[in-house]
Amino acid sequence: MKTRVLFFCFIAFILSPHGTEALAQWSVIPQLKYTNIKCLLVTDDSTIFVAGDNWTFLRSTDNGTTWTNVMNGIQADTILSIGKGGGYIFAGTNGVSSIYRSSNNGDSWRAANQGIPSLAQVNALTWVDSVVYTATNYGVFSSTDYGNSWTVDTAGLRLDSPYPGQLGGIAGITSVGSKLYAIKSMWGGVYTTSSGTIAWVPIGLDTVWGFAMASIDTNVFAGTPRGVYLYSGSGTTWLPRSNGLPGDFPSCILTAMDTLLFVYTGYWNNKGAYMSSDLGVTWRQINDSVFTGKTIHSMVATKTFLIAGTERGAWRLPIADLITSVKNDGSQLPANFTLSQNFPNPFNPTTHFRFTIADFPQGIPSERFVTLAVFDLLGREVAVLVDEEKAPGSYSLQWDATNFPSGVYFYQLKAGSFVETKKLLLMK
């Protein structure tokens, strides 16, 4: 975890003094010219799958430089989603056998759709432990045998009229630990459930529909027509995360890599690709003039490239160039000190803390001594998580309470004159 936190801080440090537009340059992927791309998947640091319309399904094992056709065994002409888990690759289609599975990295495929409605539109896939889940226009389905058979898991989802059917269902699904999160493609918001016993519970955003979901560590993001939101970790509270994004937009794509979050805002006059290094607190537009007259349908990030697929080909952009070529105008540092509620809460045995250290007026030192400590009910300090100077920026870290007894604790952030305390509950 320490390495991950240091990486996050490093990225935040590099980006913090910069402006609102990243000027790194996109380059076209020649072998994918003129293809209509619907979805992308990264399976390791160099292997990428791309799929879409007109029998398009290709694989690259060298970070997108060369590509091989991997359509062998798939009867559908359009692939809408790709996922991985348990040593398998899964491809979701628009109603023709619905789901296909490969056990040999895409060299061959077979239908794996027993229990899935024949007209199902497979919008997204995720994996928890040894179970694969799929979001469709008929709701959520799960498979405990790697796709050989599927069970409907819609208990509590309130798939009212016009559900189930092609006009509604679940647009996106993601997982954090043993928790699943699903967002409806029409009115109804976001639902969550434990992956052990499926019983979906609404957790807000019920007045909007959704386009996509993503997660970074324990942070859950939802893309909606009203912008991007971050789940607070409890109840039905979602925090707006659209500072720097355009206003309402009719579609969006979310993708994450380590601590970086990317969004594409969709169609019409609000097209644009953006990047955030601070969990959506601020966004910077990525230079996307190359996409004039085109619409991005899918984005994915490796540790080397950000890749975007459109209806007329695919482009890639070096992550390193994106980070180091941002304009310098000093406008993106946090303006306030904040301490967020830990997530999850209650927890067992690990939870995450998020906080921001504010920018300082000109002439005041750019670092301040920060402490973040945990106390028991008697006010005794039981853990010190931060005890050092911190530059202005956003931070996230984990507390492992394996060796602590169940009960109520408090955690407190001190930074100069700023002091804030919150409660957390450890349940074993």
pLDDT at residue 373, rounded to an integer: 96
Note the pTM of the prediction, 2 decimals.
0.70
Instruction: Enumerate domains of the chain plus CATH numbers.
Output: 18-324 (2.130.10.10), 338-426 (2.60.40.1930)
pLDDT at residue 356, rounded to an integer: 83
pLDDT at residue 232, rounded to an integer: 82
Dihedral, 275, 277, 278, 280 alpha carbons, nearest 10: 20
pLDDT at residue 68, rounded to an integer: 95
CA 377 to mean position of chain CA atoms: 35
pLDDT at residue 15, rounded to an integer: 41
> What are the tens digits of pLDDT across the range 322-338?
765 443 334 455 667 88
**Phi, psi angle pair for 8, to nearest 5°:** -60, -45
DSSP class per residue in 130-164? TEEEEEETTEEEEESSTTSS-EE--TT----TT-S
Whether residue 164 is preceded by a cis peptide bond, meaning omega within 30 degrees of 0, is: yes
pLDDT at residue 70, rounded to an integer: 96
**Rounded Cα distance, 286 and 263, in Å:** 10
Local confidence pLDDT in tens for the 428 residues of the chain: 444 444 434 444 334 433 355 556 889 999 998 889 999 999 987 899 999 988 999 999 998 889 999 999 998 889 999 999 889 999 998 877 889 999 999 999 999 999 998 888 889 999 998 899 999 988 999 999 999 999 999 998 887 644 444 456 899 999 988 899 999 987 779 999 998 789 999 999 988 888 899 998 889 999 998 889 999 888 899 999 988 888 777 788 999 988 889 999 876 666 788 998 888 988 888 877 788 778 899 999 988 899 999 998 999 998 877 765 443 334 455 667 888 888 778 888 888 888 888 765 544 454 578 999 999 999 999 999 998 887 777 787 889 999 999 999 999 999 888 899 999 999 88
pLDDT at residue 410, rounded to an integer: 96
pLDDT at residue 18, rounded to an integer: 36
**Rounded Cα distance, 37 and 101, in Å:** 20
